Amino acid sequence: MQQEQNELLQALYEGYQGALRYVASNIGIPYGEIDDIIQDTFCAYIRAYGDKLLEWNEAQRKSVLMRILKNRCADYFRDKSRNQNISMDTGNFGEEYQIPDQYILKDVLEHVEDREDLRTIQKCIKEMRPVWREVAILHFVEGRPVTEICQILKINSATCRMRISRIRKYLREQIGKK
């Protein structure tokens, strides 16, 4: 039975990857990202519906694959739009995204009095460990609630709250040093 499922999966991949590639490119996915999205589509298909591979007919398989692909494409564009405002890859971190006034007034950020303090905070965030940086940007810069951060980063709420607490302490220490 496992051999039969593997053969069916191989046939599905060979039979549908061209159509999935065509749909993804028509939706606007960049050429370099299409293979990753198609692979994610098949992985999600196997995870969610692997036990039904032999039960479904061809039309059911195709419609589920297409639905998963379209969801993966939507996720790609959502992630891209969420991450395009802040780039950690360039040296112009502070110039790419201005922190809105509504966020400057809360927690550690209420101590920001001039652009030098803002640069200090941006430098601190840029130099944080990646797991802290993600939380700092989502919570302090974007103002997202803990529940939403937990869903995005796939962490539990206690972990998220602990990271926020440690980030606050770290920022207080760094701002105090300047």
Examine the pLDDT at 106 and tell me if it is beyond 50. Answer: no
A 10 A CB-CB count for 91 gives 7
Least confident of 21-30, 79-88, 91-100, 120-129: 91-100
- Given CA atoms 42, 48, 54, 55 in this order, what sign does their dihedral have? negative
Cα separation, 153 vs 160, whole angstroms: 9
Across 36-53, average pLDDT: 82
Provide the 8-state DSSP code for 55: T
pTM above threshold 0.85 = no
AA letter at 138: L
